[in-house]
Chains A and B, each alone.
Chain A
Amino acid sequence: MLTALFAGLAFTLSSAFAAIVLGRNLTRSLAAAMVFIVGLGFSLMIAGAGFQSLVVVVLGALMLATIQIFGWMLVDVDRDHLPATDRPTRIARSLAFLLVGGGLGLLVVNALVAGEFAILGPPPVVATPGEIGALLFGPLREVTLLVGLAIAASLLAILLLLQDDGQKG
């Protein structure tokens, strides 16, 4: 099972990387991202990660479809039509990217060291939807209320941003 999971995750991460580096063509990039979503669902299913993984995969596919619709409406899909980035900006972005990569590399090394203790610890478990619902509407009901307020505030912000759309041209 671990070999299949490792292969699935490697395939998934390769697709995500391809989706980023194929940036000159939005359609190719989105196709690689769709392959990523499929690989992610496959990998999490092999890992037995429960219904939370289903939520992540379904919402991820939904968001990707939204990006695809808006991207095809707004962008020339064949290329970005953007001028080349100037040299100082390229250097600054490379340095920032290396710093992020270095920090995450240190995190993985420490996680591998700590993982030896976790494997010796209690067996991992996955919660059922009922347990999560009881938590969200029980001890965490204030968090649920805040999420509801965030939904209302975001919808209002979107309405304000798009209030004139469609009246011009």
Chain B
Amino acid sequence: MILESSAVALVVIAAVVLFWIGMLGLLWRRSLVGMLLGLLFAWISVAMAAIGFGALQGSPESAAGGGALVLCVSVLFCLQMATGLSIVVARIRRHGTIDADDAGLLEG
């Protein structure tokens, strides 16, 4: 399948802006659930950038490499999200809050 280069460039630039929005969620939101939402956007931006850069190289090998990177990053992100939600559940059980500022000491 052939992509237009300008369309790929648009997708890559959108990935950068989406990563910035994800960082906004990580830096601005104090609820751990909200921070996980920011992480979701950051992960999707990385996947979009991998698709775009893999396609921009123009060779089938680089496109397959980009696709493999997307799959590996996707699996690792699912694991990260599952572990993060488990930490949120454990934290609520022990401390009764999801305020990220209260978790600054990294105490159990």
Taking Cβ atoms with an 8 Å cutoff, the residues of A that contact B are 1-2, 5-6, 9, 12-13, 16-17, 19-20, 23, 26, 29-30, 33, 36, 40, 43-44, 46-53, 55-56, 59-60, 62-64, 66-67, 70-71, 74-75, 80, 82-83, 85, 89, 93, 96-97, 100-101, 104, 107-108, 111-112, 115, 118-119, 121-127, 129, 131-132, 134-136, 140, 143-144, 147, 150-151, 154, 157-158, 161-162, 164-165, 168
Contacts and interface: CB of A to CB of B under 8 A. Distances in A.
B6 A2 contact: yes
Contact of A66 (B12, B38, B51, B85): B85
Nearest to B14: A9
Given A119-B5, A127-B63, A143 B40 contact: no
Given A60-B40, A74-B98, A125-B59, A158 B8 contact: no
A165 B58 contact: no
B51 to A, nearest CB: 5
20 contacts: A17-B21, A20-B25, A20-B28, A23-B28, A26-B34, A52-B67, A56-B47, A67-B81, A82-B31, A83-B99, A115-B9, A118-B56, A121-B56, A121-B58, A124-B63, A125-B55, A129-B67, A132-B67, A135-B64, A161-B83
B28 to A, nearest CB: 7
Nearest to B9: A115
B103 interface: no
Contacts of B87: 161
A67 B33 contact: yes
Interface string B79-108: 111110111111011000011010000000
B23 A70 contact: no
Nearest to B13: A108
Contacts, number: 260
A19 B83 CA distance: 22
Contact of A118 (B9, B19, B25, B78): B9
Nearest to B85: A70
A47 B8 contact: yes
| Residue among A5, A85, A125 with most chain B CB within 10 A | A125
Nearest to B82: A158
Contacts of B93: 164-165, 168
A47 B11 contact: yes
A117 to B, nearest CB: 10
A20 B63 contact: no
A167 B20 CA distance: 41
B23 to A, nearest CB: 5
